[in-house]
Chain A
Amino acid sequence: MTDATFTAPTQSRALKIALRWGLYLMLTVFALWYLLPFFVMLTTSLKSLEEIRTGSLIALPREVTFDAWRTAWSGACTGIQCEGLQPYFWNSVMLAVPAVMISTVLGAMNGYVVAQWNFRGANIIFALMLFGCFIPFQVVLLPMARTLGILNIAGTIPGLIFVHVIYGIGFTTLFFRNYYVTIPAELTKAAKIDGAGFFRIFWSIFLPLSLPIIVVTVIWQFTQIWNDFLFGVSFSQAGTQPITVALNNIVNSTTGVKAYNVDMAAAIIAALPTLLVYVVAGKYFIRGLTAGSVKG
């Protein structure tokens, strides 16, 4: 028994309410801290440069202007070119969509094999593939740059798709394998006895069950690939850069006056697709994060 149980009930009640208020206060303060950068990005992007120079960082814009957004989308300079983020946004789309699709399909097939058609050595193969998720990619940058050159896809979007697929398979295989392992092996056995083959079983039994894990995998891969910078900056050239590289170039371009409002608008544009995914499908996003981290 502690002292707390002997204090007068009214006093402990007041204490409880005070604690509760303190708790909510703390939670709100932290929420503001997480929101602050986004709030600042948004308000800065809607201000004129003049207002940025004279006003306070967190002040709301006195006069809302979308000029910075227009410039960020179609006029800001990334080095010598001044076409804004627009072409790079589409580069990222054209890069992410096929890379996500290919790596997801491969992951589904691999996961299906490892979980349900386990042959001798399959687990070792799986472990070896999984290991690829852990390496710091710096260790493959140099040979990959040469390989892309030899394959004649250096500095191209197909080259980047290739790289993202190769280093994405480990994770996608892991996701599908962990999901398919929970489906009873008897199901496959029964279907085999009925004369169904490898692909037939996948197509009519496993695929219809796979929607949740497909969503998790697609979201995970899309976020990874859209937000990637290392591969993008290493294996692209002027014109084929993904949006993260273009954003960094806009922010760090040294020519002319620093247009902070354009930088912020550009940053939001680059963040918008993944943020949208997060808002719409947050549950699946979190599931991918925890699955990808706890096991991989």
Chain B
Amino acid sequence: MSNKADVVIVGGGVIGCATAYYLSKKGKSVIVLEGSENIGNGGSSRNGGGVRQSGRDPRELPLAMYGIEKLWPHLSEELGVDCEYHKEGNLRLGKTKKHLDILQGLTDRAVACGLDVRMVDAKEVKEINPFLSDEVIGASWCPTDGHANPMVTTLAYYRKARMQGVRFLTGEKVISLKKVKGRVKKVITENNVYEGDYVLVAAGYESREILATVGVDVPMHQELLECLVTEAEPHMFNQMLGTAEADFYGHQTEHGSFVFGGSSGLELNNKDIGVKNSPSNTSITAPCICRGIMKYFPSLEDAKIVRTWAGYVDTSQDGVPVLGEVDEVPGLIIACAFTGHGFGIAPAVGEQLAMLITDGTTAIDLSPLRYDRFKAKI
């Protein structure tokens, strides 16, 4: 098979797979190179499944809103696999006056961007979700937010893209990019050389090392976050949940299990197993998440935890992704530093990047997410 394509995508996560799908739908030939042995091995399979707009920065909110309006509602049908998408709202919960102030600030900023989100009082919160503890005194409520199954969605994009002729290689770790006549052209792996008219780097935190080989730096760091899942429980509610203090976030899946994510607060200096790109759980975080959940949902205290896992978030310097073309390296497209928000906006990002590569323009203005926005403080 040829090692040349219209587009070479570095990274077989949800962003890479979604972009490959939309590009192949537009008739482009695509090669996807995944360094690990599994498709969707990073944050794509390790996140909490949120598909939200509330709480998002105004710079990335248009992408979130676009995806929820145009792409998520028919995604399962389009990909031929049930992605378990539920658009039944997001509650961000508060227990103190200080929490409510935080939520009010988030709500005001989102309303200014045209999002349907509002504050609800203790009584209305309980009407939306009767299982909440009486300690909850208010919340922000965004009825068009929701959640989906991130593992299945990633693999569904992969499956459909593969059916449309996209070439996928796993265990193919990219070492460097190389320019030819001023334009990015070659993608060099441990074993092979690939060539594309365009190269998309969507490799999470590992994008940084790869981009450095053509002189581009994206200021970001890795943060370890952990999740847990319970056994299947009787159906309780369909909303996505978060809290003002970020104690935990999560939802009940279609399967009945509850997926919750959170942190211990010690992540910056956690010791993991010390193997690069092999995130592992610490002994203190899952118990901490459990205590957070039980404060909001006392009735879940008997739910059994069956599994825990960890994943790295590629956190950008200013909390929003880096997306789009690079002036100094024609042909290069960046999509990384998603800061834990990548899954929900993945369909919109994939579709817009495919449009950028094919038509040279996008429906959503990506300029606030440019790679060269980072400036010194003075």
Do they bind each other?
A: no
Contact residues of B with A, CB < 8 Å? none
